[in-house]
Amino acid sequence: MQDNLKIPVHVAIIMDGNGRWAKAQGKPRTFGHTEGAKRVADVTRAAGQMGIKYVTLYAFSTENWSRTAEEVGALMKLFRGYLKTCIKDADENNMRIRVIGDKTGLDPDIQEAIAHVEEHTAQYDGVTLTLAINYGGRDELTRAVRSIAASVKTGEISPDDITSDTISAHLDAPDIPDPDLMIRTCGEERISNFLLWELAYSELYFTDVAWPDFGPDELRLAVEAYTRRDRRFGGTNE
């Protein structure tokens, strides 16, 4: 099957269902987050082995601050832990790690850990793992618009020069191609403010499997489904 697979360049994943997965076992939601965090390394490694170049994972949305302080605290603790352990994984797998989202809204030590990881892995050119933390598609676009408006104000560019490429260039990871495939786990079929601009022509794949149960085999199923899709970008159906 490997030979017949059409490999997406960029796969974006909404890692959903940690809480429901834990609750179904009578465990606290935070247990689901801990188990879910363990899938990140397996899935990213499997993606790299399949030839996928970019993996973007939705880890914490701008809306997720509305969860209880306990749950937010547990998630931040997991990020702190991951930002430490991922370095060894990145070294071993030639993996570049990046973060998108409004980093300024994160605790200073997390911002420092992110800067360190991004710098340490900047030269790795295997798979690129991008973590979306304190990320919202509307927030990303709002920040882009602010930055473009500032350039207009200084006279650097004129309003007539603004094209869709200008907007793409002001997003958080302008050099990463748009996702070919977007996966959401655990049954919900919505975007939840993820990569609003970048997903314009992505194929969408929804699975009932909760994130803590999502492994390399599930990733392969998604890529198989993607392989069967007939991608179009506004052209005809023929």
**Which residues have a catalytic role annotated?**
16, 64
Q: Using CB atoms within 10 A of its CB, is residue 21 exposed (0-12), middle (13-18) or buried (19+)?
A: buried
31 in contact with ligand IPE (CB under 6 A): no
Task: Indicate the DSSP class of residue 190.
Answer: -
Task: Indicate the DSSP class of residue 136.
Answer: -
Helices (H), 24-136: 29-50, 69-93, 108-120
Q: Which residues contact 147 (CB under 8 A, 6 or more apart)?
A: 170
188 in contact with ligand IPE (CB under 6 A): yes
Q: Which stretch binds ligand IPE (CB under 6 A): 10-18, 37-45, 100-108, 123-131?
A: 10-18
Q: How far is the CB of 207 from Mg ion (least distance, A)?
A: 14
19 in contact with ligand IPE (CB under 6 A): yes
Q: Binders of ligand IPE among 46-75, rule CB under 6 A?
A: 58-61, 64, 75
- Nearer to ligand IPE by Cβ, of 46 and 75: the residue is 75
Q: Copy the structure tokens of residue 39.
A: 């899938």
For 55, the enclosing helix (H) or strand (E) is strand 54-61
Q: How far is the CB of 77 from ligand IPE (least distance, A)?
A: 13
Among candidate residues 9, 15, 71, 5, the one with its CA nearest the CA of residue 214? 15
Q: Which of 16, 139, 198, 203 binds Mg ion (CB under 5 A)?
A: 16
41 in contact with ligand IPE (CB under 6 A): no
Q: Which residue has the tokens 């602010």?
A: 146
Q: Which of 11, 18, 47, 195 binds ligand IPE (CB under 6 A)?
A: 18
Question: What is the binding site for ligand IPE (CB under 6 A)?
Answer: 14-20, 58-61, 64, 75, 186, 188, 190, 192
Residues at the interface with Mg ion (CB under 5 A): 16
